[in-house]
Amino acid sequence: MGLWLAAPPLVLASRSASRRAVLAGAGIPVEVLPADVDERAIETQASLQSPSQPPSQIALLLARAKAGAISAKLPERLVLGADQTLALGQRLFAKPADLAAASHQLKSLRGRTHELHSAVVVARHGAVLFAHCEIARLTMRSFSDRFLAAYIEAAGSAVTASVGAYQVEGIGIQLFERIEGDHFTILGLPLLRLLQFLRQHGCLAD
């Protein structure tokens, strides 16, 4: 008997390679079926409804939208939606469109502390069974423009793959002087609470 007790794999409604790797590393079989949702439209609508909407709530809204979209297509399956927002004070950041945008974003974060809000939602039959969001706080060091240019060159297109323009599990760790929070939260998935839910739900060996 393996650790995963459910017959079909968990459906991951995300294109994130890091989330897939985290789940696989924890022994959870995953079927990837990315949700086609307009994240910027959801964020805009949330801001219009409540201008003071906290970043954690926006992350949960995005995760719920992804899980709900795929759960509607596969109602019998357990579907996981996840998303992450980056907040510098009241300012929210999105994934940089290109290397120039990544450089500009990192200059804004340089020497300051920002927050990553990582949300996960699990749904079945269109209903939310589990929703949780965790926060990590990261402080970037006051690196030089010369270092920033070298970092962008070394990281290449990977800087456009995450909301912070970095991967702390790679060379992105060189950007930081202090990190407070769970490692998996920084990677975009509050894994320990998710594992707890899956055990309670009978999907994982207890």
Catalytic residue ranges: 83
Q: How far is CA 141 from CA 103, 111, 173, 177, in A?
A: 15, 5, 10, 5
- Pairwise CA distance, residues 32 & 83, whole Å: 15
- Pairwise CA distance, residues 27 & 21, whole Å: 10
Check if the beta carbon of residue 30 is closer than 8 Å to that of residue 20. Answer: yes
Q: How many CA atoms lie within 13 A of 200 on its CB side?
A: 8
Check if the beta carbon of residue 120 is closer than 8 Å to that of residue 82. Answer: yes
Exposed/middle/buried for residue 58 (C-beta within 10 Å: 0-12, 13-18, 19+): buried
| Long-range own/partner contacts, residues 196-199 (CB < 8 A, 24 or more apart) | 197/122, 197/129, 197/130, 197/132, 198/28
